[in-house]
């Protein structure tokens, strides 16, 4: 007899713990009909849309699109202030895509990958690549069967952003690894997309405007995405921020978020719960130190002089920008249902 599988305990959602997840209704509908996946995203609050459009003013804005259903449906196809919208791989068949708005495409896999006769979802991706398109398709090399194929400037991007002419006698690569250097650190398509945006910006393709990058459908939460692609994506985000590039993601997005470590996490309540558990188990000595109520220093826990403008949405994935939780309250589910897309 085989081993009996033990049923895993389901992690409680915000709904079960007394909160409200505004995307739970969407997930329920998706379970019943997967084709509804990208068509029923709750609309964003007008304040969020207005703030996003206002933030674009005076900047060159490039949108990088992924295919994660958690946020790809929020792509601002018809909003003002967008210079480029770039998508990737075989996403052309997805129902949320507005192909007439796309200005660039990325297919950086080997030919055996994009020419395969049995692609994902049964989509004729290879046939689509061979059609005429009004935008370039960036690839490892020019494919003569693909009219819009352009060679991706991999070396130029690596040399521009991962190498410094000011180190050593002749310049050196910036990422040391073992006895040598890591000259190419690209672990997912988003790193290539961000690198090309930086290169175009540096060489003046967008004039002298600051660069802003917005990312939608970029969750990188699956196993290989999480441990390999997300760190690389956030590396290239950090590299861009260091050059003055402004990044934006929807509030629900799982990249660029996390607890406000040390300042607000772990919390005082967490520590007191730990103490109580030790007391209950008989592992606590009466002379051990216990925290008092006056430990919080309000001047030193991240109260910035300018609050965040967009409202944040609570999800089962955890707090979003937790240092602003007391400044930007969540949008209620009833409010979301009342707001209609323009």
Alpha-carbon span 267 to 287, nearest angstrom:
22
Entry pTM: 0.75
Give residue 231's pLDDT. 83
CA distance 314 to 23: 9
Task: Give the pLDDT score at 126.
Answer: 92
Q: Give the bridge partners for 137, in sequence order.
A: 105, 149
Alpha-carbon gap, residue 194 to 175, rounded angstroms: 18
> What distance lies between CA 200 and its chain's CA centroid?
21
User: Encoding tokens for residue 84?
Assistant: 């480029």
Q: Which two tokens stand for residue 315?
A: 């999800």
The pLDDT tens digits along the chain (342 residues) read 455 555 544 444 333 334 444 345 445 554 555 445 555 566 777 888 888 899 999 999 999 998 887 778 888 999 999 999 999 998 888 878 899 999 999 999 999 889 987 666 567 899 999 999 999 999 999 999 999 999 999 999 999 999 999 998 999 999 898 998 888 888 889 999 999 999 999 999 999 999 999 999 887 666 666 657 788 888 999 999 999 999 998 877 777 777 667 766 677 778 888 888 888 888 888 888 887 766 655 555 555 544 444 333 343 333 333 333 333 333 333 443 343 333
Cα–Cα distances in angstroms (integers) from residue 207 to residues 22, 56, 63, 239, 243, in the given order: 40, 15, 17, 21, 16
What's the CATH class of domain 32-255?
Answer: alpha beta
Rounded to the nearest angstrom, the gap between the alpha carbon of residue 298 and the centroid of all alpha carbons in its chain is: 31
Q: What angle, rounded to 10 degrees, do the helices at 230-242 and 189-202 form?
A: 20
CA–CA distance, 125 with 123 (Å, rounded to integer): 6
Give the Cα separation of 59 and 55 in Å (integer). 8
First to last CA, the chain: 60
- Give the C-alpha separation, 235 to 276, whole Å: 40
What beta strand segments (E) does the chain contain? 60-65, 84-88, 104-106, 137-139, 149-151, 163-164, 172-173, 176-177, 180-181, 211-216, 246-248
| CA neighbours closer than 13 Å in the CB half-sphere of residue 172 | 9
| Assigned token pair, 152 | 């991706």
* Residue 325, phi-psi category: left (phi > 0), alpha (psi -120 to 50), beta (remainder): alpha
Range list for CATH 3.90.1480 in the chain: 32-255
CB 142 within 8 A of CB 150: yes
| pLDDT of 222 | 64
Nearest partner of 154 among 143, 163, 167, judged by Cα = 163
- The residue among 202, 167, 196, 198 whose CA lies nearest residue 181 is 167
Burial (CB count within 10 angstroms: exposed 0-12, middle 13-18, buried 19+), residue 191 = buried
Tokens encoding 79: 């909003």
How far apart CA 269 and CA 288 sit, in angstroms, is 17
Cβ of 114: how many Cβ atoms within 10 Å? 20
Q: Residue 142 has what pLDDT?
A: 96
C-alpha 51/C-alpha 242 separation (Å) is 23
Asked if residues 108 and 87 have their Cβ atoms less than 8 Å apart, the reply is no
Q: Are 207 and 226 in contact (CB under 8 A)?
A: no
Query: DSSP 3-state assignment of 326?
Result: coil
> In angstroms, rounded to a whole number, what is the distance separating the alpha carbons of residues 133 and 147?
8
């Amino acid at each position: 007899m085989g081993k009996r599988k033990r049923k895993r305990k389901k992690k409680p959602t915000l709904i079960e713990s007394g909160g409200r997840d505004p995307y739970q209704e969407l997930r329920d509908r998706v379970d019943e009909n997967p084709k509804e996946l990208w068509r029923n995203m709750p609309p964003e609050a007008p304040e969020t849309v207005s703030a996003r459009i206002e933030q674009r003013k005076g900047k060159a804005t490039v949108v990088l699109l992924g295919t994660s259903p958690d946020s790809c449906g929020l792509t601002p196809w018809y909003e003002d202030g967008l210079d480029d919208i770039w998508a990737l791989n075989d996403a052309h068949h997805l129902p949320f895509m507005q192909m007439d708005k796309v200005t660039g495409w990325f297919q950086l896999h080997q030919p055996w990958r994009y020419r395969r006769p049995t692609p994902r979802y049964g989509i004729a991706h290879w046939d689509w690549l061979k059609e005429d398109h009004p935008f370039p398709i960036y690839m490892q090399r020019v494919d003569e069967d693909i009219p819009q194929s352009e060679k991706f400037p991999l070396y130029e991007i690596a040399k521009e952003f991962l190498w410094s002419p000011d180190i050593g006698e002749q310049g050196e690569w910036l990422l040391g690894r073992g006895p040598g250097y890591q000259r190419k650190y690209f672990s997912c398509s988003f790193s290539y997309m961000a690198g090309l945006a930086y290169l175009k910006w540096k060489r003046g393709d967008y004039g002298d405007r600051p660069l802003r990058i917005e990312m939608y459908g970029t969750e990188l939460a699956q196993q290989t995405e999480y441990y390999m692609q997300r760190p690389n994506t956030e590396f290239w985000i950090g590299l861009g921020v260091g050059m003055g590039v402004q990044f934006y993601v929807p509030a629900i997005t799982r990249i660029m978020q996390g607890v406000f470590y040390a300042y607000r996490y772990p919390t005082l309540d967490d520590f007191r719960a730990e103490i109580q558990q030790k007391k209950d188990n008989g592992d606590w000595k009466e002379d051990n130190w216990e925290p008092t109520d006056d430990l919080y220093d309000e001047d030193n826990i991240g109260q910035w002089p300018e609050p965040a403008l967009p409202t944040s949405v609570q999800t089962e994935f955890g707090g979003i920008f937790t240092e602003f939780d007391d400044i930007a309250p969540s949008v209620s589910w009833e409010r979301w249902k009342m707001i209609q897309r323009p």
